[in-house]
Amino acid sequence: MKNIKMYILSSMLLGISLMGELSAQSSVYVGGHFRRERPNTVTTLKSSGFDCVILFNVNVETDGTLTTDGDTICFQGNYVFAKKHPYYISDVKSLKVPPTSVTRIEICIGGWGNESYDHIKSLINLSGTGSSTTLYKNFKTLKDSIPEIDAVNNDDEHAYDANTAIRFHVMMAQLGFKSSLAPYTNKSYWTAIATGINNNIPGTVDRILIQCYDGGAGNNPSDWHINNIPLHAGRLNYQDFNQTKTVMQTWKNEKDVVGGFFWVYNDETWNLSKYAIASNSIFGSILQTPTDSIVAVFCEDMDYGGYNINMKLGKYRTLDMVKYGLADNDISSLKVKPGYKITIYRNDNFTGDSLVFTSSSKWIGDTFNDITSSLKIEQINNTSESERLNADVVKVYPIPANTYLIVKALEAEDTAVFRDLSDKIVFTTKLIQGDNRIDTSKLPSGLYSINGQSFTQKVLINH
């Protein structure tokens, strides 16, 4: 507890400098899937829209060793995790490297059945929290190795010893960690440690994350306001999505909740960006396109159903889409004003299979349904239409096609070969120079490639 004034001053200065950076409104707990399926999980989190990632979890063993999933992170003041997970440091650091939505990273200690805080209690009672202790050395090593970790998330569901918990979090604050608390019961304990920690170093506990699921399913967030610390409330990722939005809106309107979180990202069975957008739209902000700038509308469901997102000219990576409220892999139909074209891409950063639309489509087809991860909205230059729509030799329209397709060939003679997704030839027709009207009424709806002597064009047939 020495030099408390110095710690208070440094903590206050840190809080001022990071106030904007750490004002997360949407958080997600992240399990071992983050390591097992890297680097895809890193990319997914960075473009998800979540601004706080809580890494679950860091265990404290009986001797102060830090572990996770049976692997050792720090041992006797040395970082040894790289032996089995050589990319972990760079992956965690990368979460904050632009372009990214992540501004805050936490490590979670605790959880149901986890005895970390029992071990912390025994270690502190035996040796204290000084710089010579194993507990101090290991967490200092972790902070030095990954300074991008901002906070420790306390999910104690077992020990509930206020004295040692306060001392532990004060030690963590001295090492540069903020603290968040994740209660589901025992309010008197959480009130005691929040008060005790912040009395020692003001501002260390900067948020409460009340669990409103499983053992805390009956919690009313209104009952969990502690010392005016910002209150966030959480749901399970597999709870009904529309109900989640309704519940979170009620939390904001009636319970003074300022942020939402979800448990847990540990597989690919749910759309992270959709849930992040829901939380951000309620507790944070979503970019809006001015009415006079709208040239395209993207729709969640076919026939322009579900939510609709208005967009202006521009190039949109996954994260850019999410900022406007358009979730990754969530487009089924679209509208586009005459004179503009939309190119949708299967992958982020305008990569992977793509498809061009120059007119509205009530169904973008099975092949591209719910897989768009980036897109471009561009104005068509009528003076060089053929060069813009196909840099080789032809102009193909309308896209998508219904009962007919116009292929404007620039060569005197050519042949158009239609192939389906299996690369099977389904139709062949001769082309003459100029406009060729091709009957597509008998072709099944789907994505086709048209190949000529010097061109290839993808076309969606949509009856």
Condensed to tens digits (0 to 9), the pLDDT of residues 368-408 reads 999 999 999 999 875 444 344 444 445 788 878 888 888 88
| C-alpha–C-alpha distance, residues 261 and 458, integer Å | 41
Q: Domains in the chain, please, with CATH?
A: 4-283 (3.20.20.80), 291-379 (2.60.20.10), 382-461 (2.60.40.3080)
Give the residue from 93, 204, 101, 107 showing the smallest Cα distance to 148.
Answer: 93
Contact criterion met (CB below 8 Å) for 135 and 120: yes
Q: Would you give the DSSP letter of residue 10?
A: H
- Given a cut of 70, is residue 18 above it in pLDDT? no
With beta carbons less than 8 A apart as the criterion, state whether 443 and 389 touch.
no
Span 259-293, pLDDT tens digits:
999 999 999 999 999 999 999 999 988 999 999 99
Q: Which residues 6+ apart lie within 8 Å of 388 measured at CB?
A: 341, 378, 380, 381
For 97, half-sphere exposure in the C-beta direction (CA atoms, 13 angstrom radius) is 8
The three-class DSSP label of residue 356 is strand
Nearest to 109 by CA among 166, 163, 66: 66
**DSSP per position, 368-414:** TTT---EEEEEE--GGGHHHHH-SSSEEEESSSBSSEEEEEEEEEEE
Strands 446-451 vs 425-439: parallel, antiparallel or unpaired: unpaired
CA distance 348 to 328: 9
**CA distance linking residue 397 with residue 435, whole number of Å:** 10
- The answer, yes or no, to whether the previous bond of 183 is cis (omega within 30 of 0) is no
Residue pair 247/235 in contact by the 8 Å Cβ criterion: yes
pLDDT band of 354, cuts 50, 70, 90: very high
- The helix (H) or strand (E) run that includes residue 9 is helix 4-18
CA dihedral 25, 243, 54, 83 (to 10 degrees): -140
Cα gap 120→193, rounded to integer Å? 15
Report the predicted TM-score, pTM, of the whole model to 2 decimal places: 0.81
Nearest to 119 by CA among 166, 80, 79, 65: 65
- At 22-45, the pLDDT tens digits run 345 899 999 999 999 999 999 999
**3-state SS assignment for residue 107:** strand
SS (H, E, C) 141-166: HHHHHCCCCCEEEEECCCCCCHHHHH
pLDDT tens per residue across span 69-98: 999 999 999 999 999 999 999 999 999 999
Q: Percent of the chain, pLDDT > 70?
A: 91
